[in-house]
Amino acid sequence: MPVSMGPNRYGKDGIRLVLVRRGADEDELRDLTVDVRLEGDFDRVHTDGDNSGVLPTDTMRSTVYALAQDSLTGAIEDFGAALAARFLDAAPAAGVAEVTLREHAWGRATVSGEPHPHTFIGGFAEGAIATVTERRGAAPLVRSGIAGLTVLKTTGSAFSGFMRDEFTVLAETEDRILASEVTADWTYLDGHAPAYAETRVAARRALLEAFATHESKSVQHTLYAMGEALLAACADVCEVSMRMPNKHHIAVDLSRFGIDNDRAVFVATDRPFGVIEGTVTRG
Amino acid sequence: MPVSMGPNRYGKDGIRLVLVRRGADEDELRDLTVDVRLEGDFDRVHTDGDNSGVLPTDTMRSTVYALAQDSLTGAIEDFGAALAARFLDAAPAAGVAEVTLREHAWGRATVSGEPHPHTFIGGFAEGAIATVTERRGAAPLVRSGIAGLTVLKTTGSAFSGFMRDEFTVLAETEDRILASEVTADWTYLDGHAPAYAETRVAARRALLEAFATHESKSVQHTLYAMGEALLAACADVCEVSMRMPNKHHIAVDLSRFGIDNDRAVFVATDRPFGVIEGTVTRG
Amino acid sequence: MPVSMGPNRYGKDGIRLVLVRRGADEDELRDLTVDVRLEGDFDRVHTDGDNSGVLPTDTMRSTVYALAQDSLTGAIEDFGAALAARFLDAAPAAGVAEVTLREHAWGRATVSGEPHPHTFIGGFAEGAIATVTERRGAAPLVRSGIAGLTVLKTTGSAFSGFMRDEFTVLAETEDRILASEVTADWTYLDGHAPAYAETRVAARRALLEAFATHESKSVQHTLYAMGEALLAACADVCEVSMRMPNKHHIAVDLSRFGIDNDRAVFVATDRPFGVIEGTVTRG
Amino acid sequence: MPVSMGPNRYGKDGIRLVLVRRGADEDELRDLTVDVRLEGDFDRVHTDGDNSGVLPTDTMRSTVYALAQDSLTGAIEDFGAALAARFLDAAPAAGVAEVTLREHAWGRATVSGEPHPHTFIGGFAEGAIATVTERRGAAPLVRSGIAGLTVLKTTGSAFSGFMRDEFTVLAETEDRILASEVTADWTYLDGHAPAYAETRVAARRALLEAFATHESKSVQHTLYAMGEALLAACADVCEVSMRMPNKHHIAVDLSRFGIDNDRAVFVATDRPFGVIEGTVTRG
């Protein structure tokens, strides 16, 4: 029976990097988790156990730390591009290097009413994400984004007029809680040299403003409005993909206790949950 | 062989309550997870399957929702006390009712430079905690606190002069990263009628300021300084207990790559981790 | 600025279904988590808030429960196919329905040396997985698999002869612990009417036997051997994709304590970890 | 304001130890997570930053690895006792050393119908637990137990005859699913030299048999029956404490779809969940 190796890739997940840049007046703190993947001419690694072209995943790990001081000077996208280029240089058998980064946010602690020079507050679900994919001989492709953007609006969200079949029991509503943990990521128009960090700030502002002000008829409807707002705000962005779980908040029936519950008391549920995924694009 | 029932308790964990209070200008949002426990004369429930004195845990759940609108008007401690009193009323066999609450923080979203009236941002590890324990016939005991306070300082922390034995390999350091996810909770002096929310604000400020400004010789040393600062700032507080995991950040040895790493590049590690627990008390 | 809706889909995640089939002598237990996705002509849902073609995700949930007794009679693949067909029937706007299933394993408890008729033991990381994708007018595509297969071998695994660059510090080894939590899934040859459950049993046996007996030169090398063994054992299978995280076990350097550690004492690490992904295919 | 240090302790959590004992015919595998705590005369560590009496938590970690080959030869309780004694020797300021251990189960893989000599299957929620607490000058106290014992019975469980108040909506049932993830731990009668591993096997068998065969009127009722059975089966055990979350399985109302659901289709829910905790004791 002839058998052969199909598509494959390998790498390292969960490389935890904290970088401190020490200044005269204050320190800067960066906190990243980095994943690396290589694809290429690795068939004989699998079929014959020939490791001669394998850059060990442990080397990927140490490379992230070795390059940090020189290359993590600005946006995570630039650090990702430096890493991807390095991995293609280091591993001739690789045709594609992909680096995925997530930055964990820290804010300066407020002490005596002032931001403190070397003390930080963390513990935020929200963070910047990026994926840099470099194919040998081509320019790197960059996706930038935001993950863990946890939002809730107490009004301005309806869900009605939907299909009903024999198993549909959901009541229509003109006023519900809408909550999500938004992941959004986007690509850039060709030929643009984007300012990644500034774009992310503008993108986040647009997403949040659209979420807040949109009169929502569904999660899908709001997802589109958010994507549209992001494209309007960020001229360099080509398209944006979003994933919005619907974190259901169910009004509790208190009428059996003689208590009126007019959109006041809700159960926040874990599972199951709705998921809406979509891309909004120019043109 | 004579066998008997020893200490026992029962209750409900993970009751998720979201309460919206709708105002003319803006909505208010509360988001809590509540746990309930009853202790008392429940031996025959176990030994004979006699459920006549058992208030079902499902009733605990519905009670939390039923009381929310009237009783969750201020501090979570007051809501906890209302619930504990209710459970003792509802379950004559219970001698002690304990209610544990955790409030999940949401901040108003900033839209067009203004805090938005009905849109909120969440996803914070940090939150308020409280435990109210009421023994029938006695005043409720209240513990208030903060959990998930995630802090890091890039300097101002040493660890040296410790014991060494044959298995000690740790190097002494005069300048390391100190990071923790602090849990702190406290009780109040008898006869005081504490302003729970205001105390928590003052406590948090004191904890954070002490963490930032203390010249730390160990996590223990900083824990004590933080407790001392809290007691100084909060005249109603009797004692404070803290739990401070030491979230180790290990400087990476880059010298083998010819790279100088002067307290710049660190690995944030998950396990194992140090744990420091201690109580600081008046008198 | 013209903006339009790109690719999109929606559905429900985490539908938890437990089905008991009661027999004269013993009960049978099935425990599944089901996810559903629909793709199709849903642009106006996003752009105009027109919900007239939207089958609510809540209806997806209730459909899973409604069909369980009649349709979950054998393999999860058959239940998935029944659900996918139903969703295409129920939602005319949908062009593709995808149902992903994971079965959580329970074994009969042994009581007095016999398998018990109605008591079960659970808590296993390993479980059966399947994805059924049905495009309107075409036969459903089925992927079957196993997730969470947690394996470790104490010998018979080397990693040497790999590339070295300036950041490579990993030592070569001819005898290391190899551990992984394997996910494997496969498709079937056209025109075959596979016996899903029997194939899964044979596939698991082949994967496990290859893992155990293969003289491993790398995770890649073992992944290929496992895929090859699966294809040899399962004549209906067309190709198999595997994901094998490398759960690193690092030998502890005890020489500084005068203790010889000859492949005996290891640290099991969480992060970072290697990841190997690959497909083995016929022909 | 006089302030002083109250109760305190410190240690290391999450020390991951894997030990391979290599035999002529087959290898043995042990996989533990160990936590360590010291209490004692550590006030000045906190108040003055005097580390001279502090055994670093990093030393606790390396001690676990250093002692593994010689001391982890049998029950985890014996390894815990060796560690606790060592820590009291190494840290004169400590008055109490507590070592908590959890063993992660691995079974031999079956290959060609035989248990394989060096390949193992893991991924089980269930595992052995133990806590050894040694006070200087006294004999160590040992608690042994089992955690993660995940059980479900499809019949033989009722819950009726309970209290009802104005917020009680739960229906009585004479036949429900009963499911839990049991944690049980026990102490030993004075003067006994228990065979820890054998006792654990007998205890598990008794717990499981009682769970399966008991006609349950409540989780409390079954908890007591399980404790009673354990004490009957294990003559060395003094008392047993159990924690049994009630993993609710809710029958789905399918009557609105014209479908009869006679204890067949259930939702397995995550939160909230009941919790029953109790101790069963001799005498």
Of D166, D257, D271, the CB nearest to A167: D257
3-state secondary structure of A138: coil
Residue C263: closest CA among D14, D34, D118: D118
User: Nearest residue on chain C to B272, judged by CA atoms?
Assistant: C269
Q: What pLDDT is attached to residue A112?
A: 94
Contact A273 C14 (CB under 8 A): yes
User: Nearest residue on chain D to B165, judged by CA atoms?
Assistant: D90
3-state secondary structure of B80: helix
Contact A220 C59 (CB under 8 A): no
Question: Could you report the per-residue pLDDT of B222-253, keeping only the tens digit for each?
Answer: 999 999 999 999 999 999 999 999 999 999 99
Report angle CA D102, D107, D112 to the nearest 5 degrees. 170
Distance from CA of B247 to the nearest CA of C (A): 14
Per-residue pLDDT band for B48 (boundaries 50, 70, 90) equals very high
- Over residues C118-146, mean pLDDT: 97
* C281 catalytic per annotation: no
Q: Is the pLDDT of residue C283 over 70?
A: yes
Percent of chain D topping pLDDT 70? 100
Q: What is the CATH number of domain B148-281?
A: 3.10.270.10
| Contacts of range B164-173, beta carbons closer than 8 Å, 24 or more positions apart | B164/D59, B165/D55, B165/D59, B165/D90, B166/C257, B167/C257, B167/D59, B167/D62, B167/D63, B167/D66, B167/D90, B168/D55, B168/D56, B168/D58, B168/D59, B168/D62, B169/C256, B169/D58, B169/D59, B169/D62, B170/D56, B170/D58, B170/D59
Best residue of C1, C10, C102, C174 to probe chain A, by most A CBs closer than 10 Å: C10
In this structure, the strands spanning B141-153 and D3-22 are unpaired
Q: Which residues of A touch C280 (CB under 8 A)?
A: 3-6, 46
Q: Over chain D, what is the mean pLDDT?
A: 97
Q: How far is CA B258 from CA A79, A90, A269, B254, in A?
A: 20, 18, 53, 7
Of C27, C109, C264, the CB nearest to D208: C109
Residue A105, CB-side half-sphere exposure with 13 Å CA sphere: 15
Distance from CA of A261 to the nearest CA of B (A): 9
* A131 catalytic per annotation: no
Q: DSSP of A94-132, one letter per residue?
A: EEEEEEEEEEEP-EEEEETTEEEEEEEEE-BS-EEEEEE
- Over residues B63-83, mean pLDDT: 98
Contact B119 A208 (CB under 8 A): yes
The β-bridge partners of D277 are B9, D243
Of A22, A120, A154, the CB nearest to B118: A154
- Over residues D215-224, mean pLDDT: 98
User: Nearest residue on chain C to D20, judged by CA atoms?
Assistant: C264
Question: Could you report the per-residue pLDDT of D112-171, keeping only the tens digit for each?
Answer: 999 999 999 999 999 999 999 999 999 999 999 999 999 999 999 999 999 999 999 999
Of the residues A33, A57, A154, A183, which is catalytic?
A57
- Over residues A221-243, mean pLDDT: 98
Instruction: Report the C-alpha gap between C58 and C11 in whole angstroms.
Output: 9
- The burial class, CB within 10 Å (0-12 / 13-18 / 19+), for A78 is middle
- The correct CATH number of A10-139 out of 1.10.4160.10, 3.40.50.1980, 3.90.230.10, 3.10.270.10 is 3.10.270.10
Beta carbons of C95 and C66 less than 8 angstroms apart:
no
Q: How far is CA B204 from CA B155, B209, B212, B236, in A?
A: 21, 8, 12, 14
Of the residues B104, B214, B248, B249, which is catalytic?
B248
Q: Over chain C, what is the mean pLDDT?
A: 97
Would A10-139 and A148-281 be classified into the same CATH topology? Answer: yes
Question: Could you report the per-residue pLDDT of C220-255, keeping only the tens digit for each?
Answer: 999 999 999 999 999 999 999 999 999 999 999 999
Q: Which chains touch C (3 or more CB pairs under 8 A)?
A: A, B, D
Contact residues for C155 (Cβ-Cβ < 8 A; gap 6+): C175, C263, D22, D27, D118
Question: Could you report the per-residue pLDDT of B141-170, keeping only the tens digit for each?
Answer: 999 999 999 999 999 999 999 999 999 999
Contact B169 C271 (CB under 8 A): no
- Over residues B24-42, mean pLDDT: 98
Of C61, C163, C275, the CB nearest to A272: C61
Structure token pair of residue C126: 């390993």
Best residue of B47, B51, B282 to probe chain D, by most D CBs closer than 10 Å: B51
Beta carbons of A181 and A150 less than 8 angstroms apart:
yes
Report angle CA B273, B275, B276 to the nearest 5 degrees. 150
Of the residues C104, C214, C247, C248, which is catalytic?
C248
Q: How far is CA B125 from CA A223, B104, B205, C154, in A?
A: 26, 8, 17, 39
Question: Could you report the per-residue pLDDT of B186-230, keeping only the tens digit for each?
Answer: 999 987 778 999 999 999 999 999 999 999 999 999 999 999 999
- Over residues A18-38, mean pLDDT: 97
Q: What pLDDT is attached to residue B1?
A: 66
Question: Could you report the per-residue pLDDT of C151-195, keeping only the tens digit for each?
Answer: 999 999 999 999 999 999 999 999 999 999 999 999 999 877 789
Q: Over chain A, what is the mean pLDDT?
A: 97
Contact B16 A66 (CB under 8 A): no
Q: Which chains touch A (3 or more CB pairs under 8 A)?
A: B, C, D
**Dihedral sign of CA atoms C82, C84, C87, C89 in order:** negative
Q: What pLDDT is attached to residue A193?
A: 74
Instruction: Report the C-alpha gap between C43 and C57 in whole angstroms.
Output: 17
Q: What pLDDT is attached to residue A194?
A: 87
3-state secondary structure of C44: helix
Q: Is the pLDDT of residue A1 over 70?
A: no
| Residue D104 backbone phi and psi in degrees, to 5 | -90, 125
Query: Which residues of chain B are at the C interface, by a Cβ-Cβ cutoff of 8 Å?
Result: 166-167, 169, 256-257, 270-271
Per-residue pLDDT band for D1 (boundaries 50, 70, 90) equals low
Best residue of C167, C248, C249, C253 to probe chain B, by most B CBs closer than 10 Å: C167
Per-residue pLDDT band for C1 (boundaries 50, 70, 90) equals low
In this structure, the strands spanning A114-122 and A127-135 are unpaired
Q: Cβ atoms within 10 A of the Cβ of D110, count? A: 15
Contact A220 C271 (CB under 8 A): no
CB–CB contacts below 8 A, B to D: 263
- Over residues C6-10, mean pLDDT: 98
Question: Could you report the per-residue pLDDT of C58-89, keeping only the tens digit for each?
Answer: 999 999 999 999 999 999 999 999 999 999 99
Instruction: Report the C-alpha gap between B167 and B155 in whole angstroms.
Output: 28
Q: Cβ atoms within 10 A of the Cβ of D12, count? A: 24
Q: Which chains touch D (3 or more CB pairs under 8 A)?
A: A, B, C
User: Nearest residue on chain B to C166, judged by CA atoms?
Assistant: B257
Q: Could you give the dihedral angle defined by the CA atoms of residues C44, C49, C52 and C54, in that order, rounded to the nearest 10 degrees?
A: 80
Q: Is the pLDDT of residue D268 over 70?
A: yes
Q: What pLDDT is attached to residue D161?
A: 98
Contact C18 D208 (CB under 8 A): no
The conformational region for residue A161 under phi > 0 = left, psi -120 to 50 = alpha, else beta, is left
Of D167, D256, D270, the CB nearest to A257: D167
Contact B122 A121 (CB under 8 A): no
Contact C169 B256 (CB under 8 A): yes
Of C167, C256, C270, the CB nearest to B169: C256
The ranges assigned to domains in chain D are: 10-139, 148-281
Residue B113, CB-side half-sphere exposure with 13 Å CA sphere: 0
Q: What pLDDT is attached to residue C254?
A: 98
Residue C218: closest CA among A50, D20, A61: A50
User: Nearest residue on chain A to C67, judged by CA atoms?
Assistant: A167
Q: Taking the complete model, does pTM exceed 0.80, yes or no?
A: yes
Q: Which residues of B touch A17 (CB under 8 A)?
A: 265-268
- Residues of D annotated catalytic, as ranges: 12, 57, 248
3-state secondary structure of A86: helix
List the helix and strand counts (H, then E) for chain D. Answer: 5, 12
Q: Cβ atoms within 10 A of the Cβ of C240, count? A: 30
